[in-house]
Amino acid sequence: MSAEEQAWLDQQMANAEAQKATQVAPDVSAGGGHDDDDEPEPPTPTNASSGGAASGGAAAEEAGDGDYSDVMKMIEENRKKNEAKRAAQSARNAEIIAAFEQRTQAGGGAPR
């Protein structure tokens, strides 16, 4: 890959990151600012008592000792959110690769 092609690819990736940052900006405060990382693990009775969210521990105590359905529901919702984020990132990556391959096959080379 030539230096021009690499520069063009870097530019495309930077543009995609900037676009992603503007789309995810309201969600960043809820996610802790790490868009590419998985969501933090929801509090369970074991990690809530060891420095996790106090409200999560209180909710688990209210539900009873053997009822973890609320925790399992939170974990499942978190998993679905993470899968959606990964799918969106994969789609953006595919668009960038397709655009790059189209430019290189057309013989135009990387833009200056």
**What would the pLDDT profile of 81-96 be if each residue is shown by its tens digit?**
999 999 999 999 999 9
pTM score? 0.37
Domain locations along the chain: 3-39+68-105
% of the chain at pLDDT higher than 90: 31
Q: pLDDT, tens digit, for every residue of 12-50?
A: 888 888 777 676 555 444 454 445 556 666 666 555 554
Mean pLDDT of 65-84: 91
Question: What average pLDDT does the chain have?
Answer: 74
In 38-65, which positions are buried (b, 16+ CB within 10 angstroms) versus exposed (e)? ebeebbbbeebeeebeeebbebbeeeee
